[in-house]
Structure 1
Amino acid sequence: MNGKVFGVGVGPGDSELLTVKAVNAIKGADVIIAPRTEKKEGSVALDIARCYIGENTEIVYQIYPMVKGFSEDTSAWEKNKAEIMAMLEQGKQVVFLTLGDPMFYSTYIYVYNRLKEAGANIETIPGIPAFCAIASYLGRSIVEGDDILSIIPATVSEDKLKKALATCDNAVIMKVYKNFSQVVDNLDEASMLKNATLVSRCGLPDEEIITDVAASKDKKLNYLSTILTKRD
């Protein structure tokens, strides 16, 4: 098996934020794997990387269900793994695109584990997480000195959210969409609302920045929404 898989982080949205190594891997790929959910057509990660993809490169969409209990039904994962392994058997260079960083709340982590167990030659190329790009764009630090940072998916239980906010100086809250109002209330309770800024779809054409988070608590948000905040 002479083929190789590259897990490539394409960052949050700006095509110029990809590393040189990521761009070189994409340009040298025989196949680009563009993951998407069963509910949406297209791939944000593919859109970000498209300007680096060669005309003769094959693009393959793979559907990955966005469910918590994916271990109960692994059929989609096994099908996708088998498809990638067949490409490797043909000696192809395969790039699996992922938003942000491949090892940070990414579908790629589960893909990586399965391919590694199957004996695939695989290399992971890091990318810029959304909260790092947001901090740079806004000109605000993520942590300073001895600050403690909590990175929290808004999908956790309210009890876990409260505990995480209670023990940190600064917080990054990701995937803020379904329970935005609840998150705002918890930030207010933790004295972390006044300094909160939310950015949705960072670096993409429809990017949105919300500085008055409290006033927007009833707004419908996209899945790619992140809050940066610190204690008042």
Structure 2
Amino acid sequence: MAGVFYGVGVGPGDPELLTVKAIRAIQQADVVIAPKTEKKDESTALTIAQPFLKAGVPIVRLVFPMVFDGETLSEAWENNKNTILELLAAGKKVVFLTLGDPMFYSTYIYIFHLLENCGYPVETIPGVPAFCAMASKLGYPLAEGNDTLSVVPATLTPEQLDRVLARSDNVVLMKVYKNYQKLIETLKRHGLAENAVMVSRCGLEDEQVVRDVTEIGDQTINYLSTILTRRNKA
């Protein structure tokens, strides 16, 4: 029997936001892969999916280093690919858990590209992106009528970010944990700080909502933080 690889989006944090299709894939998995970084033992995606795991299912924790050295990345990712291929060759249904949506700024995308021509079926199951969950929870429409919405990483160059902010009605800013104070100054300059709201670890027990993004000070911003902003309140 041929193995099948599933990339499953588990959403931002609330297990009740998983789709029926995602739950079914998780429950039928022969092996579950939980990605994690070198610095942390836990996997947030695994925690979210925990209520739906069948008893005794093997869990493989693969380390994805958060580094930008090409050789280190290449070796780590190649090793992870080989681990997955061995499971598929054994005829396993392999579920790879990923936060939010698998095709949206996700670790899964790299694995997807590595396995595209591996000879085994690959199925991607979408999940709820954090910014969509945030908007619904806060009653914060992302776009109405002819509004333009830009979804961008805050790690863009200052010039790139200026161009995006200048042309957008509404903005979703991902990866805001880096250079936060400079980012806030940029939002102020474009008239987008007043209506901004930041949510960290959306849907998880320690979720934090910041309605005045200018008052954060020097505190460390959690990696799982996103800012929603717009020019005018609805």
Q: How does 1:58-137 map to 2 (within 5 A)?
A: 58-70=58-70, 73-137=73-137
Gaps of 5+ in 1: none
- 1:66-125 deviation per Cα after TM superposition (whole angstroms, max 9, x unaligned): 234547741111111111111111110000000000000001001001011222211000
- 1:18-58 deviation per Cα after TM superposition (whole angstroms, max 9, x unaligned): 00000000000010000011111110000000110011210
When normalised by structure 2's length, the TM-score is: 0.96
Distance (Å, rounded) in 2 between the aligned partners of 1:209 and 1:59: 32
Q: Check whether the contact 2:38–2:64 (CA below 8 A) recurs between aligned residues.
A: yes
Distance (Å, rounded) in 1 between the aligned partners of 2:34 and 2:132: 23
The two structures, once aligned, show a CA RMSD in angstroms of: 1.3
Q: How does 1:138-217 map to 2 (within 5 A)?
A: 138-217=138-217
Paired residue for 1:37? 37
Paired residue for 2:13? 13
Per-residue deviation, 1:158:
1.7
Distance (Å, rounded) in 1 between the aligned partners of 2:212 and 2:230: 14
Q: Check whether the contact 2:7–2:108 (CA below 8 A) recurs between aligned residues.
A: yes
Give the 3-state SS of the residue equivalent to 2:116 in structure 1. helix
Counterpart amino acid of residue 208 in structure 2: E
Give the 3-state SS of the residue equivalent to 1:209 in structure 2. strand
When normalised by structure 1's length, the TM-score is: 0.96
Give the 3-state SS of the residue equivalent to 1:74 in structure 2. helix
Counterpart amino acid of residue 162 in structure 1: D
Deviates more, 1:110-119 or 1:64-73: 64-73
Identity %: 53
Paired residue for 2:222? 222
Counterpart amino acid of residue 57 in structure 2: T
Counterpart amino acid of residue 113 in structure 2: N
Gaps of 5+ in 2: none
